[in-house]
Each structure stands twice: as structure tokens, then as C-alpha cells.
């Protein structure tokens, strides 16, 4: 761990947004999952969520650019549990879903705790997921095709959230609580050591100002 690398990790962690996330409902194609996680990393999402009844997620694809190492992914067995988990933590869930009640995605206030719900590639969000969402959002389309690839839709919406949050100063100071910040920093800086310590049930050691283990 070089001091330069350690400062880079801290700079990125300082901008992580614990109250902005994405929920992927049965997004099966690895390149789509990976692309969404890459966008999530780019806008500062701390933890993403996925629904997969099999309990796993597709294999990561080169499209992710290694972003799966920097964005935690919590997998839920069904959409009911996923949405309940988010709402218990104060998130408003916005489904990317074309409906009569859908809002233009730019009309949403993403500076408040927000979760963007995205559906499977072919079918979109399920009827149950749409029912559970607090609101639907839509990206206006001017062409013959009335939908975007799921990873493209995720990027459009998440970068609007980033734009709003930048304007509101939400990237100007660390947003993670101190315990989560220290834990994540150690896992990013020393992933192998962190894995061993977790298996052994041992606490992480402290790091000094240059990222060395104390």
C-alpha cells in the first residue's frame, strides 16, 4: 500500500453516498449487471442491491472495469424483501417503469434517500415490483423505440442523481458513519487480510495516516 494509493482510496470513499442506490430485479445478463455496477461506482453509490431467487448473481463481465470490488452488492431472495429492506432504511423507491403515473426522471429529488429500481432486460420491472415502488419514473423517448437497454437507463437516471447531489454539495464531505468508513477503508486497502480476519472473527486493525497497518 503506497501513500498515493491510500489517498486515492480515501478520496473515493469520501464521496460515497450511503443514501443513493440501485435495485436490480432479475437482471440476468452479466454485461448489464456489470455495466450498472460500473455506473454505480462512478456516481458514488456505496451499496447496490439485486433480486435473484436462485440466491446468486451473474458472473461479472469485463464491462465492470473491476467496479464490483468497490460497490458492495447485497442480494435478496425476492423483491418484497428487497423493497422492505430499503424502505426500512428510509429510501424512496423509484421504478424505471412506463406507466400512466410515471414522472419524468428529472422531476425527482434525488438529494433525498433514493433507490432506482430496474427490471429484467426483456420485461422490465415485474407487476409486483411496480406495485411496491413509491413512484414510477420514465426517460422521455423521441424515437420509434420506447425503451433503453437497462444499463443505459440506469446510467441516465443515476447521472441525473449525481448532478443534483453535486449541486447540493453532497459530495463535499464524507457521508459514511465513522465505523463504516474505517471498515470499508481497510477492506479496500487490504482485501486479502480483511477476508482472513472475517473468517477468523477478528477485528480489523487500525491504519496510520499513510495507510500502513498499525
Average pLDDT along the chain = 90
Domains of the chain, CATH where assigned: 1-16+174-213 (no CATH), 17-168 (3.40.1280.10)
Read off the pTM. Answer: 0.89
Largest Cα separation within the chain, whole Å, is 60
Calculate mean pLDDT across residues 156-163: 98
Q: pLDDT for 168-177, tens place per residue?
A: 999 999 999 9
pLDDT score of 142: 82
CA-nearest of 32, 22, 25 to 59 is 32
Question: Under a CB-based contact definition with an 8 Å cutoff, are residues 21 and 86 in contact?
Answer: yes
How are beta strands 114-118 and 20-25 bridged, if at all?
Answer: parallel
Residues marked as binding for S-adenosyl-L-methionine?
A: 119-123, 139, 148
What percent of the chain shows pLDDT beyond 90?
75
Residues marked as binding?
A: 119-123, 139, 148
Lowest-pLDDT choice from 61-65, 118-122, 192-196, 209-213 = 61-65
Question: Under a CB-based contact definition with an 8 Å cutoff, are residues 171 and 165 in contact?
Answer: yes
DSSP 8-state secondary structure symbol assigned to residue 168 = T
Round to whole Å and give the CA distance between 171 and 179.
19
Amino acid at each position: 500500500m503506497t501513500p498515493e494509493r491510500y489517498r486515492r482510496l480515501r478520496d473515493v470513499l469520501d464521496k460515497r453516498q450511503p443514501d443513493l442506490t440501485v435495485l436490480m430485479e432479475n437482471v440476468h445478463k452479466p454485461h448489464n449487471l456489470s455495466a450498472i455496477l460500473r455506473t454505480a461506482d462512478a456516481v458514488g453509490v456505496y451499496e447496490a442491491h439485486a433480486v435473484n431467487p436462485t440466491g446468486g448473481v451473474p458472473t461479472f463481465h469485463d464491462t465492470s472495469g473491476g467496479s464490483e470490488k468497490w460497490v458492495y452488492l447485497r442480494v435478496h431472495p425476492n423483491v418484497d424483501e428487497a423493497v422492505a429492506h430499503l424502505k426500512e432504511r428510509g429510501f424512496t423507491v423509484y421504478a424505471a417503469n412506463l406507466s400512466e403515473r410515471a414522472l419524468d426522471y428529472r422531476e425527482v429529488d434525488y438529494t433525498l434517500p433514493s433507490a432506482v429500481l430496474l427490471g429484467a432486460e426483456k420485461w422490465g420491472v415485474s407487476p409486483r415490483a411496480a406495485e411496491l415502488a413509491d413512484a414510477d419514473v420514465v426517460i422521455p423517448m423521441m424515437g420509434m423505440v420506447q425503451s433503453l437497454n437497462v444499463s443505459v437507463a440506469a446510467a441516465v437516471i443515476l447521472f441525473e442523481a449525481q448532478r443534483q447531489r453535486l449541486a447540493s454539495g453532497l459530495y463535499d464531505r464524507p457521508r459514511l458513519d465513522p465505523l463504516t468508513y474505517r471498515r470499508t477503508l481497510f477492506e479496500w486497502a487490504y482485501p486479502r487480510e480483511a477476508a482472513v480476519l472475517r473468517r477468523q472473527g477478528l477485528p480489523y486493525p487500525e491504519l496510520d495516516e499513510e495507510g500502513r497497518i498499525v
